[in-house]
Chains A and B, each alone.
Chain A
Amino acid sequence: MTVFSLLRPGGSYVQRAFFALGRLGQATNVDRLAVIHFVRLAVIGEFPDHGQPQDYLRQTLQLFESNYNGSFGSYIDMFVQALPGRMRALWGTSYGFPWRLPLGPFKHYILQNEFPIDHYYVRNPEVTVKMVKSALRIVQATAELRQDAHDLDPDEFAERLRALVTHLQSDL
């Protein structure tokens, strides 16, 4: 998702304060959603100068970009339901934001500000955040068992492996 929105007067100050607080805090809420790989936000007062005609940027722009699992619709639904306060903090200072967050108008608002991607590359397209979290738990547990295996007799090993499979069942 690539969204540019136009900030209201003073919006850039509020957003930068919010972003500074965001950096100070933990991203536990976003972590818990477990569908977002990367998100970036930028408040843009001017574009890099390459000799182009000067733009009339009377209002500051905000860029929001996200790489997530699933469809656009489910992503927005989940975000609004799980983190409505964060949605308001992200776009509340932008023109046109529907403050009450009914899903229909909010989706319309995002779609109106979104830009279609002309080329998109994903290194691991089938891999979700949940899969990576599961895989990391399996990597650690299976490596520990491999390390211990030489010192275990076959029956002890089988018992450890059975316990491991039970413990990691939801990760497989």
Chain B
Amino acid sequence: MTTPSSLLAAVGRIAAAALGATSVNRRGNSYAVTLITPILPDASDELRDVLRGFKLGSGSPLAKVPDVHFARWVVIDRLRLDWPGAPKRPSRLRSQYLLFSADLTAPAYRAACLPGTFFRDLAHHIPDECDAVWKHCMNFPGVDEVDHFVKYLSHSQIDIDLYYAAFPDLTPSDISRAINVRQGFAQFVLQHQDALVGDRGHDTLKAAYIKESASWAV
């Protein structure tokens, strides 16, 4: 049945499509993965222990998965409902939920394949960690049968309504390379400041720039 809410959502999605955003979860070559899965009864504490036991930074399991800028796992265990004016019979969750979200950007030639390729990358690069996390959730089929795992994650995906990305076409590697160029250029200026401000050594300066600048983006 068409409700005003679904109608407005449809209008928004059509408008977004008309502007070139082919999905509400997509902006440029970026994609917002938002998965919500119900946690098995009494399993949330153990799940939290698993998640908080993962190493942080470059040691995180998610560091092994391509295209990820940011990602998080969050246990949704209660909603704050007792605000002044809130209804006497407010919403109530009968399960606890696991939220997994990720901001991905892939190169243009495979951005359209997100999020399917990302789900397969999870199964390929960090199967044990995926199993350790989602085995605490209902109906989890395991990771061994990759198609079943991908179907499970796809079914857990919710569409978002608004997505902002500061650099929607820059992959994590693009950003790393750009930062390397910035650092390389700053170091070059420091190392060659005598030639830069003086009248001598310009031939050496030019040769050094041609040679060194080629390696900054690596």
Residues of A within 8 A of B (CB): 2, 4, 6, 12-13, 15-17, 19-20, 22-24, 27, 30-31, 34, 36-45, 47-48, 50-61, 63, 65, 67, 95-96, 112-113, 115-125, 127, 129, 131-132, 134-136, 138-139, 142, 145-146, 149-150, 152, 154-155, 157-158, 161-162, 165, 168, 171-172
Contact = CB atoms under 8 A, between A and B. Distances in A.
Interface residues of B, number: 96
Contacts, number: 275
B5 A118 contact: no
Nearest to B178: A135
A165 B54 CA distance: 43
Nearest to A2: B74
A39 B87 CA distance: 29
Contact of B12 (A19, A115, A117, A145): A19
Given A48-B155, A142-B185, A16 B202 contact: no
6 contacts: A37-B69, A61-B91, A121-B56, A124-B176, A124-B179, A150-B210
Given A50-B38, A157-B209, A41 B162 contact: yes
Nearest to A14: B8
A117 B73 contact: yes
Given A23-B12, A40-B32, A121-B60, 5 more contacts: A123-B70, A132-B166, A139-B217, A157-B202, A172-B182
A130 B161 CA distance: 26
A58 B69 contact: no
A112 to B, nearest CB: 5
B93 A20 contact: no
B8 A48 contact: no
A60 B12 CA distance: 18
Nearest to A134: B182
A108 to B, nearest CB: 11
Interface string B37-79: 1100000000110011010110010110000111111111001
B139 A51 contact: yes
B137 interface: yes
A15 B76 CA distance: 22
A127 B8 contact: no
A168 B11 CA distance: 44
A140 to B, nearest CB: 10
Contacts of A125: 57
Nearest to A35: B166
Contacts of A53: 94-95
Interface in B1-58: 4-5, 8-9, 11-12, 15-16, 19, 21, 24, 30, 32, 34, 36-38, 47-48, 51-52, 54, 56-57
Contact of B74 (A118, A152, A154): A118
